[in-house]
Structure 1
Amino acid sequence: MTTNLYVHNDKFIAGITMKDEAEFEHNNMALHACTNPDYIVENRKKLATSLQCELSDFVCANQTHSANFHRVTLEDKGRGATQMETAIADTDALYTYEPNIVLCSFTADCVPVIFYNEVKGLIGVIHSGWQGTVKEITLKLFEHLAQVEQCNPSDFHVQIGAALSQEKFEVDEDVYAKFKNLGYADEFMYHNNLTRKYHIDNQLTVKRQCELAGIPAEQIVMDRTCTYVESAGFSYREDRKCGRHLSFVVRKGD
C-alpha cells in the first residue's frame, strides 16, 4: 500500500494514501466513488493496520464542498468507516481532542489540509476544493479554533497535501472572479491568452488562508505532488470515475 507519511513521531501520525496498482481499485479509499464497497473497506483495514489501530477508530464525513466543520467526540468513533450512511453529514472539516481517533478526508484534486496542535492535543483535517476555498473553510475553521477553542494560532502545524497543480487547474472567468473577490489570491492566478483560461494555485490560496488565521508560514508545509500529472495521483479532472486519496491524522494516546 502506497502512503506518503507527512508526520510520524511519538505523538502524531499524519499522511495521505496514494494510488497503487497492486491494491484493490488501485488503493481507492472512497465508498462514495467506488465499484465494490467491500474492496474499499479492505483497503481501509490495511491502512488501519499500518497505523496500528482498528478501522472502528476511523471517522469520516459526507463531504459536500461546504464550509461546515464538526468537533469529533468519542461518540463519533467509527462513523463512516465501513458505510456511507453513518458518516457525519454535510461536513468538510473535522477536528478532535480525542486520542487514538483517525480523522479522514477524501480528495482527488481538491486540497487536503491536515493539522495538529501539540499544546492543546488537537488534530484536524479539511477538504478544500475550489468551492471550499472560496467559502474560506480553512480560514473559518482556524478562526473558530482560536475564538471558541481558545487555541493560539502559532501552536498549529499544518500540512497541505497533494492536489491539482496550478498548471492543470484551469478555469473560466466565473471561478476566477470568485477567487479574485477573496482579495488575497491575485498572485496565485494567471491568464493564458491562447486558451482564454485562468490558472489558479489552490494550494497557495489555502496556505494564505492559514497565514491570515495567524499560523506562522514556517509551520505550513506543502506537498507539491500534482494529482493529475503524477501516476500515483487520483485526478477527477482526468477521470470522472477515479478513486480518492485518504488524508489522515491521529494523535497517539495511552
Structure 2
Amino acid sequence: MNIKMYVNNEKIIAGMTMKDREELEQGNMALHVCLNTDHVIENRKKLATSLACEIDNFVCTNQTHSAHFHRVTLADKGHGAMSKNTAIADTDALYTFEPNIVLSSFTADCVPVIFYNTVNGLIGVIHSGWQGTIKEVAPKLFKHLIEVENCNPSDLHVQIGAAISQEKFEVDADVYGKFHDLGYANDFMYYKESTNKYHIDNQLTVKKQCELAGIPLDQISIDPTCTFMSPDGFSYREDKQAGRHLSFIMRKE
C-alpha cells in the first residue's frame, strides 16, 4: 500500500494514503465514491494493519465542505469505518484527546490538515477544500481549541498534506473574490490573462491561517505533491470519478 508517512514516532503516527495501481480501486479509501464498498473496506483494513490497529479504531465523517468540527470520544470509535451511514454527519474536522483512535479525512485535490499537540496529546484532522478555506474551518477550529480546550498554539504542529497545486487550481472571478475578501490571501493568487482565470494556492492560504492562529511557522510543514500532476494523486479536477486519499493521525498508547 502506498502510504506517505508524515510523522511516525513513539507517540504519534500520521500520514496520507496515495494512489496505488497495485491495490483495489487504485487504493481508493472513500465509501461515498467507489465501485465496490468491499474494496474500500479491504483497503482500510490494510491501512489499519500497517498502523497496528483495527478498522474499528477509525472515525470518519460525512464531509460537506462546511466549517463544522467534532470532538471525538470513545463512543465515536468505528463511526463511518465500515459504512458511510454511520459516519459523523456534516463535519469537516475532527479532534480528540483519546489514544488509539484513527482520525480520518478524505481528499482528492482539497487540502488535508493534520495536527497534534506535543504537550496535552491532542490530535486532529481538517478537510479544507476551497469552500472550507473561505469558511475558515481551520481558524475556527484552532480558535475553539485555544479558547475552549485551553491549547497553547505554540504547542501545535501542523502537516498540510498533498493537494492540488496553484498551477492547476484555476478559478473564475467569483471564487477569486471570496479569497480576496479573506484579507490575507492576495499573495497566494495570480491572474492568467490568456485564459482569463485566477490561480490560487490553497495550501499556502491554509498555512497563513495556521500562522494567524498563532502556530509557529517552523512547526507548519507542507507536502508539495500536486494531486493533479502526480501519478500518486487522486484528482477530482482531472477525473470526477476519482477515488480519495485518506489522511490520518493516531496517538499511540
Give the TM-score normalised by structure 1.
0.99
Distance across 2 between alignment mates of 1:136 and 1:46? 33
Deviation at 1:52, TM superposition (A): 0.1
Q: Which residue of 2 aligns with 1:151?
A: 151
Please name the residue that 1:107 is paired with: 107
1:231 offset after TM fit, Å?
0.3
The aligned residue for residue 189 of structure 2 is: 189
Output aligned runs, 1:130-141, within 5 Å: 130-141=130-141
Between the aligned residues of both structures, percent identity stands at 71
* Deviation per residue, 1:183-207 (Å, 9 max, x gap): 0000000000100000000000000
Q: 2:35 — aligned with what?
A: 35
2:127 partner SS: strand
Q: Distance in 2 between matches of 1:218 and 1:106?
A: 26
Name the residue aligned to 2:234.
Answer: 234
Aligned to 2:48: 48
Q: Which residue identity is paired with 1:29?
A: M
User: Which letter maps to 2:196?
Assistant: R
- 1:236 CA displacement: 0.1
Query: TM (normalized to structure 2)?
Result: 1.00
1:180 aligns with 2:183: no
Q: For residues 82-137 of structure 1, what are the alpha-carbon distances to aligned partners after superposition, in whole Å with 9 as ceiling and x for unaligned?
A: 00000000000000000000000000000000000021100000000000000000
Q: Helix, strand or coil for the counterpart of 1:142?
A: helix
1:245 equivalent in structure 2: 245
Aligned residue type for 1:24 = L
In structure 2, what is the equivalent of residue 205 of structure 1? 205
3-state SS in 2 of match to 1:40: helix
Provide the C-alpha distance between the structure 2 equivalents of 1:185 and 1:249, rounded to a whole number of angstroms: 28
| Runs of 4+ deviating beyond 6 Å | none
In structure 2, C-alpha distance between the alignment counterparts of 1:198 and 1:87, rounded to whole Å: 35
Can you list the C-alpha shifts for 1:49-106, whole angstroms capped at 9, x where unaligned? 0000000000000000000000000000000000000000000000000000000000
Matches of 2:125 and 2:158 in 1, distance apart? 10
1:4 maps to what in 2?
4
| Amino acid paired to 1:40 | V
| Whole-angstrom CA distance in 2 between matches of 1:209 and 1:138 | 7
* 1:21-74 CA distance string (max 9 Å, x none): 000000000000000000000000000000000000000000000000000000
Cα distance in 2 for partners of 1:33, 1:205 equals 27
The answer to whether the aligner puts 1:61 opposite 2:70 as a matched pair is no
Structure 1 Cα separation of the partners of residues 148 and 127 of structure 2 = 21
Looking at structure 1, the residues matched to 243 and 229 of structure 2 have their Cα atoms a distance apart, in angstroms, of 15
In structure 1, the gaps of 5 or more residues are none
- Helix, strand or coil: the match of 2:149? coil
1:118 and 1:76 map into 2 onto residues whose CA distance is: 23
Output the amino acid matched with 1:55. I
Partner SS, residue 205 of structure 2? helix
2 CA distance for matches of 1:92 and 1:231?
A: 26
Partners of 2:41 and 2:113 lie apart in 1 by 23
